[in-house]
């Protein structure tokens, strides 16, 4: 009979058995099972294992079914806390979730956004979406980044923005104990100049929106497509003079008299209908500034002191 000795790294015998019969095979099987538990478990501070050993190979693959973000939303964080500690900063694994997800719990890009800026606006989405034709990404960047026609808006314009990520209004604490009871859909709450807008998730579009035409003289039936492109060309939200009947009040009579937009909105748009003052466009205000050669002032909805060829003081109403 041959002696089989399991040894540690210091060559000290751990267990000696005889290699004969059912007993030796059973003991070896138990040893093997024990080693599996030791190397894959998280039951002591000595066990610091790489994610590739404990988690499935697709754990870090954003579009995979076994992606860790999807797993958390499906199964909760309870198992994660066993190894990464209650604040997810490492625990016995010595691997903090924030090594990849930003600097801490108050960092918006910990779970979404971060590709282009630190606002938290996707891409990527919670499941790694990066394409603008996905609902998670859509036109987020088109709204938050300064553009040629308007100044980018803050996330609070359409969403509740918590002080920290773990705020109960933002993060469902049931994730710590059980599978998610939430749908991971960002709740849409209008907190800006556009308080009448409504969102249709099924159609991926918003309507009744000031920003896209719901104002006096605007195209109030305009319904921009969230995952589409070129939704804000000049003339898509309001008429540009080609059909004055769509313009409110005295706008139409001015347009018929070949008075261009730039003559009364000189700080906003030029003669080619190019926006030159994005900070004054889609801001909830009507900015009146006459061209130098037109002169004039506009106070309390009344214009006066206009140059020859226009008219005397008139009430816009």
Q: Give the span between the Cα atoms of 17 and 72, in whole angstroms.
A: 44
Q: Give the span between the Cα atoms of 13 and 273, in whole angstroms.
A: 86
What is the chain's mean pLDDT, rounded? 76
Secondary structure string (H, E, C) spanning 97-136? HHHCCCCCCCCHHHCCCCCCCCCCCCCCCCCCCCCCCCCC
The whole-number pLDDT of residue 146 equals: 92
Contact 281, 268 (CB under 8 A): yes
The whole-number pLDDT of residue 170 equals: 74
The whole-number pLDDT of residue 193 equals: 82
- Does residue 40 carry a pLDDT above 70? no
- Does residue 197 carry a pLDDT above 60? yes
Taking the CA atoms of the chain, what radius of gyration do you get in angstroms?
A: 32
The whole-number pLDDT of residue 152 equals: 92
Contact 88, 175 (CB under 8 A): no
* Of the ranges 42-46, 181-185, 195-199, the best mean pLDDT one: 195-199
- Does residue 75 carry a pLDDT above 80? no
The whole-number pLDDT of residue 105 equals: 59
- The string of pLDDT tens digits covering residues 259-300 is 888 888 999 999 998 999 999 999 988 888 888 776 778 877
Model confidence band, residue 17 (pLDDT cutoffs 50, 70, 90): very low
Contact 111, 165 (CB under 8 A): yes
Residues facing residue 206 across a β-bridge: 199
Quick one: CA torsion of 284, 192, 125, 179, rounded to 10 degrees? -160
Closest of 228, 221, 180, 223 to residue 200, by C-alpha: 223
Domain assignments of the chain as residue spans, ordered by start: 3-40, 44-184, 262-315
The whole-number pLDDT of residue 47 equals: 41
φ and ψ of 95, to 5 deg: -120, 110
- The string of pLDDT tens digits covering residues 131-154 is 999 999 999 999 999 999 999 999
- The string of pLDDT tens digits covering residues 99-127 is 876 655 567 887 888 888 888 899 988 87
Q: Give the span between the Cα atoms of 4 and 120, in whole angstroms.
A: 58
φ and ψ of 55, to 5 deg: -95, 160
The whole-number pLDDT of residue 230 equals: 85
**For the whole model, what pTM was predicted?**
0.69
The whole-number pLDDT of residue 188 equals: 86
Residue 122: partners with Cβ closer than 8 Å, 6 or more residues away: 112, 113, 115, 129, 130, 136, 137, 138, 140, 141
Residues facing residue 207 across a β-bridge: 198
The whole-number pLDDT of residue 238 equals: 87
Q: Give the span between the Cα atoms of 27 and 51, in whole angstroms.
A: 30
The whole-number pLDDT of residue 29 equals: 42
Model confidence band, residue 220 (pLDDT cutoffs 50, 70, 90): confident
The whole-number pLDDT of residue 44 equals: 39
- Does residue 200 carry a pLDDT above 60? yes
- Does residue 227 carry a pLDDT above 50? yes
Q: Is 268 helix (H, G, I), strand (E, B) or coil?
A: coil
Higher pLDDT, 84 or 241: 84
Contact 249, 316 (CB under 8 A): yes
Contact 141, 234 (CB under 8 A): no
- The string of pLDDT tens digits covering residues 55-72 is 888 888 877 888 888 787
């Amino acid at each position: 009979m041959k002696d089989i000795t399991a040894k540690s790294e210091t060559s000290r015998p751990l267990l000696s058995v005889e290699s004969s019969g059912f007993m030796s095979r059973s003991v070896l099987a138990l040893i093997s099972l024990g080693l599996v538990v030791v190397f894959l478990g998280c039951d002591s501070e000595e066990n610091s294992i790489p994610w590739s050993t404990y988690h499935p190979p697709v754990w870090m693959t954003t579009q995979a079914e076994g992606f860790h973000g999807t797993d958390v939303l499906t199964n909760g964080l309870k198992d994660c806390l066993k190894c990464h500690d209650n604040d997810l900063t490492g625990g016995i694994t010595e691997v903090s979730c924030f090594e990849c997800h930003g600097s801490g719990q108050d960092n918006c890009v910990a779970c979404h956004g971060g590709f282009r800026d630190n606002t938290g606006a996707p891409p990527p989405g919670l499941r790694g979406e990066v394409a603008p034709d996905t609902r998670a990404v859509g036109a987020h960047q088109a709204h938050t980044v300064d553009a040629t026609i308007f100044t980018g808006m803050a996330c609070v314009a359409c969403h509740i923005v918590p002080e920290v990520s773990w705020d109960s209004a933002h993060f469902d604490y049931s994730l710590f104990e059980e599978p998610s009871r939430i749908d991971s859909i960002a709740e849409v709450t209008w907190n800006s100049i556009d308080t009448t807008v409504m969102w249709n998730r099924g159609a991926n579009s918003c309507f009744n929106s000031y920003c896209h035409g719901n104002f006096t003289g605007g195209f109030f039936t305009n319904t921009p497509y969230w995952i589409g492109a070129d939704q804000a060309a000049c003339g898509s939200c309001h008429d540009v003079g080609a059909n004055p009947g769509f313009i409110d009040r005295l706008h139409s009579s001015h347009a018929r008299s070949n008075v261009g937009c730039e003559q009364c909105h000189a700080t906003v748009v030029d003669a080619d209908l190019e926006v030159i003052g994005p900070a004054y466009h889609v801001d909830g205000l009507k900015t009146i500034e006459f061209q130098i050669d037109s002169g004039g002032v506009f106070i309390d909805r009344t214009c006066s002191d206009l140059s020859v060829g226009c008219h005397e003081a008139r009430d816009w109403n």
